[in-house]
Structure 1
Amino acid sequence: MASAEEASALVQRLSQLSTDLTAAERENLKFLLSMAAGGVLSGHAQKISEGLRESALGTAQHSLPKLLAGAREKFPTGIVFYGRGPFLSDEDLAALDQESRGCRPRAERFLDHYVVSGAPVAREISLSPTIQEFLTENVGSITPTRRANYLYYDEPGLGIDPHVDKDEFSLNILTMLEHRASNQGRSELILHPPDQEAVHLHLKAGESLVFFADSVTHQRTRTVADEEIRLVSFGYRTLGGTHE
């Protein structure tokens, strides 16, 4: 089993390596680390010892934010904000709710959930000065990616295994539009920050999570019968980090 010193040294070597990589190469390295962390968290590494699993998980989780630097170190859980966001008005939420309902028939399945990308109302709101001012005040300079997705989990068994997001959603605003729970259980969003207990989140309608989705492993547990979830996700990139 790798010692704590060896694991820490590996994290630093990966961080240093990332400074010499192109954006595409760094994205590939991030993907490999995400797969490693996700595999351990999903229970796909049962054939190796518990100590080695913990060491591998810790190394992958610590390395992810190191690859990207910037404002991430100020937010050890990856969470910038959680709750009813001051950056979305009641009118914004009503418009997003209405558009997401209308878009559902054309949603396409992506892995284990359904997605609609680029709907006009969602895209316009994602570019609003109010959101950009809030993000700049909290994390520094950002740039919108014009990525706005409606996400649907409205069949039994839908969800997302532990992962990190691509650059388009490096800083993610995830807003719940509707969560109709079932008597049989309730899907939840789980974040897995390094060296901390998992963070279990249950967004209510109108509440948002702002987090560094490219550097903290996260998942949505599986839906059950009669459960329906609709969310909207806005993607941004931070600027000015040492690796960005």
Structure 2
Amino acid sequence: MAYAEETSALVQRLSELSTDLTAAERENLKFLLSMAAGGVLSGHAQKIPEPLRRSALGTTQRTLPKLLAGAREKFPTGIVYYGLAPFLSDADLSALDEESRAFRPAAERFMDHYVASGAPTARDISLSPMVLSFLTENVGEIAPTRRANYLYYDEPGLGIDPHVDKDEFSLNILTMLEHRAGSGQRSELILHPPGQDAIHLHLKAGESLIFFADSVTHQRTRTTADEAIRLVSFGYRTLGGTHE
């Protein structure tokens, strides 16, 4: 049987399996699939023949959205919105920029980037009626997680390898506050939607990306010398159409 046929069959089986799993079991399956996709995309599977690697990547990427279903079917790339967000005013962006600078000394290193949590302005804006209304209108019922984090990539070599997020960040609003370019190639956000070419994104200050972070593999490439990035991330949990 050809790899493409095997991939389709395995995607179907994994999708059917997920309907009988508990939320915790499904989260574990999603984690394993994410690790598999990340390993292939990061080049850790070079000894495996190329056709088999493509098949493995296709299986993981196509299965992840099917584990959660719902509104994801309307957004095959995983992207719900990209650009200047209508729900963030200039005053909001200015307040987030100021608070993110103030919270940098309290940020803690998490793997290969720095994170600051518990910022009141970021939390309040993530729960604002304008934000929640926009999300509900576009993707259906959601549950705010009250998780609003500032992310910092301001040392050479910081980034995030290919992965998917946990359920509490199933829907993510990522807003760029500053990207100071270095002397080398700029760090970028890359999404790997199933069956499609990778999407390379360079958010400008004030621009936002809303995407299904729990079902589309994504990464941030490594920063170079003199490069600095500050972002704010709002996390939400989608409720409609999941295999609960």
Equivalent AA in structure 1 for residue 112 of structure 2: D
The 1-side partners of 2:179 and 2:39 are apart by 28
Report the counterpart of residue 198 of structure 1 in structure 2: 198
CA distance in 2, matches of 1:153, 1:126: 22
One-letter identity of the residue aligned with 1:46 = Q
How many Å apart are 1:185 and its aligned residue? 2.0
Does the C-alpha gap of structure 1 residues 15 and 104 become closer, same or farther in structure 2, counting only changes over 3 Å?
same
Conservation of the 8 A alpha-carbon contact between 1:2 and 1:52: no
Does residue 230 (structure 1) correspond to residue 230 (structure 2)? The answer is yes
Separation (CA, whole Å) in 1 of partners of 2:100 and 2:59: 39
Aligned residue pair count: 244
Partner of 1:104: 104
Superposition pairs for residues 159-174 of structure 1, below 5 Å?
A: 159-174=159-174
- Confirm or deny: 8 A CA contact 2:3 2:52 kept in the other structure: no
Deviation at 1:242, TM superposition (A): 4.0
1:68 is paired with a residue of what secondary structure?
coil
Matches within 5 A, 1:90-239: 90-239=90-239
Which residues of structure 1 form unaligned runs of 5+?
A: none
Residue number in structure 2 paired with 1:82: 82
Which residue in 2 is equivalent to 1:4? 4
Maintained 8 Å contact 2:159/2:223: yes
Q: For 1:43-58, what aligned pairs fall within 5 Å after superposition?
A: 43-58=43-58
User: Deviation of residue 155 (structure 1)?
Assistant: 0.1
Q: Output one character per residue of 1:184-230: Cα deviation in whole Å (capped at 9) or x when no partner.
A: 22100000011111000000000000000000000000000000000
Tell me the TM-score normalized by structure 2: 0.98
- Residue by residue over 1:102-143, the C-alpha shift from the partner in whole angstroms, topping out at 9 and shown as x without a partner, is 000010000000001121111111001101110011111111
Q: In structure 1, how many angstroms separate the alpha carbons of the residues matched to 2:127 and 2:190?
A: 27
Contact 1:172/1:210 (<8 A) preserved: yes
Q: d(CA) in 2 for partners of 1:118 and 1:241?
A: 30
Kindly provide the amino acid, as one letter, of the partner of residue 68 in structure 1: L
Question: Which amino acid in the other structure matches residue 235 of structure 2?
Answer: G
C-alpha distance in structure 1 between counterparts of 2:125 and 2:197, whole Å: 34
Q: What percentage of residue pairs aligned between the two structures are identical? A: 84
Query: Contact conserved, 1:2 with 1:55, CA < 8 A, in 2?
Result: no
> Deviations 1:170-191 (Å, cap 9, x if unpaired)?
0000000000001222100000
Q: Is the 8 A contact 2:143 2:238 kept in 1?
A: yes
**After superposition, what is the alpha-carbon deviation per residue over 1:76-125, rounded to whole angstroms, capped at 9, x for unaligned?**
10000000000111111111101000000010000000001121111111
Separation of aligned partners in 2, 1:224 and 1:237 = 33
Alignment of 1:32-71 (within 5 A): 32-71=32-71
Q: CA deviation at 1:7?
A: 1.1
Instruction: Give the distance between the partners of 1:152 and 1:117, measured in 2 at CA.
Output: 12
| 1:118 counterpart SS class | coil
Q: Distance in 2 between matches of 1:242 and 1:44?
A: 32
Aligned residues: CA RMSD: 1.0
Q: Which moved more, 1:10-19 or 1:57-66?
A: 10-19
Map of 1:24 onto structure 2: 24
